[in-house]
Structure 1
């Protein structure tokens, strides 16, 4: 009886061990490749509990998440023969575990295969454009072209390239100072040209304004002279008309104006003979000359 119970216990224990060895779990961020005697027999991409043949089957687990790979910095010569050091990185995911296993076997082999593909694409595409396009004008477009080319070459590896980015694009150390000095000289030349254009435009505007002021002043002077002449003519006409109507009063009025102008300052000195006609209204209100 005891032997039978021991046999049952061993049998249950063996079954539990076999059951444990047959089960494996694929998590949400994983995918699995089942190998039988080292040969692929199944791909599992959905999470959950799965089964395998104990001892005979093995399971390789691969990441389903997006992974990063830093490419080695490399020197690139642009189309305009300017050199720069480019440091880039690539983001990728394993989309075909079977092809990935056949070509790379394990994730640690990715840098040695994908790295040269990225470096070649970066060197080829950036070498076909000018320096300014790389660092400023067309950088986003160039990154898309590089990612497309890398993705096409990485597809046979079971890899999908999500993105390729340039972390740093600097001038080689020996060229940086010379290029910076040339760029500074170009900017200073452009600034001097802009200042020269501004000065020329300011002088033109100032000359135009001065010319317009001169014309306006001349017109104002001419109009003033015309108005003054018209006023003088009208005044003379009125004086002549008044003189013709009452010569005695007109003479008296003109003499009063002369007296006012002569003594209005308060300290005027007049050296005249007492019987001068200028004082005729002082001697006689009627304006008659004194008798000798």
Structure 2
């Protein structure tokens, strides 16, 4: 029984010793083998690897994938025009030299980010101060990013990393400048709106005046044509009347009397007191009628 226990313990010790000597390197990581506190080997190929058991040798894994460093709390940067801008940026980086990386930063990536962040910010400061607001926002935005990346390449080598990309995420004015810019934009838009309203009002007055003028011309021409047609009609009627009256004077006299009656008695309430023997009622009495006594006529 004691012999079985010894065998089991020995087997367990051998298993633990063997497991401490084997490790697996993932394709997404570097394996750094330490020997008594010094870097002995950097393994970049994935697979099952072997080493001496601790404390003779230890293994530290480093992520070889691309990492992202975002800008910390944004600080204003002054342009060549002395305008204050706030820039949010990001940097893509990865470990290029594991030995150099560990010597300068240790195996923790947060250490390199804390050291790299102020360097990136300083590079942006130098590039932005050379340019105008328009250049940073639009015309030279790509050049700013490329120049910052070139500045970081030399700095990155001493940290054992490679800068893959530099990007500007957002550019904005500082808070105190933003309000002034928005105020100027609002005033400019208000000025343009007032100008458009004034122009529209002037155009409206011009159109209305032109329409009134055209209306007056059309009405005047229509009145002129109507008067002309009426005059021609009156002339023709007068000619017809004259011709008819010339042929039969008695009929003419009778027609004029009827016209006089029509003009005189326009309403049932009209009252006229006159001698019935007056020549005014001659047409009503007829040729053979005797004169009657004077009486009111309606």
Q: TM-score range by the shorter chain?
A: 0.7 to 0.9
**SS at 1:159's partner residue?**
strand
Counterpart of 2:133?
A: 130
**SS at 1:64's partner residue?**
coil
Q: Out of 88, 111, 114, which is 2:114 matched to? A: 111
* Structural mapping, 1:224-263, within 5 Å: 224-263=226-265
Counterpart of 1:70?
A: 71
Counterpart of 2:96?
A: 96
Q: CA RMSD in A?
A: 4.0
Counterpart of 1:277?
A: 279
Counterpart of 1:164?
A: 168
CA contact (8 A) 2:93 2:164 kept: yes
Counterpart of 2:296?
A: none
Which consecutive unaligned segments of at least 5 residues does structure 2 have? Answer: 293-298
CA contact (8 A) 1:34 1:58 kept: yes
TM-score by length of 1: 0.73
Alpha carbons of structure 1 residues 26 and 42: separation in structure 2 relative to 1, 3 Å: closer
**SS at 2:70's partner residue?**
strand
Structure 1 residue 201 displacement after superposition: 1.7
List per-residue Cα deviations over 1:202-241 (Å, max 9, x = no partner): 2222222222222222222222212222222222222223
Counterpart of 2:16?
A: 17
Q: How many residues align?
A: 276
TM-score by length of 2: 0.72
Counterpart of 1:213?
A: 215
Structure 1 residue 281 displacement after superposition: 0.5
CA contact (8 A) 2:79 2:128 kept: no
**SS at 2:63's partner residue?**
strand
List per-residue Cα deviations over 1:11-52 (Å, max 9, x = no partner): x44542343223334557x422434531553324x6xx5314
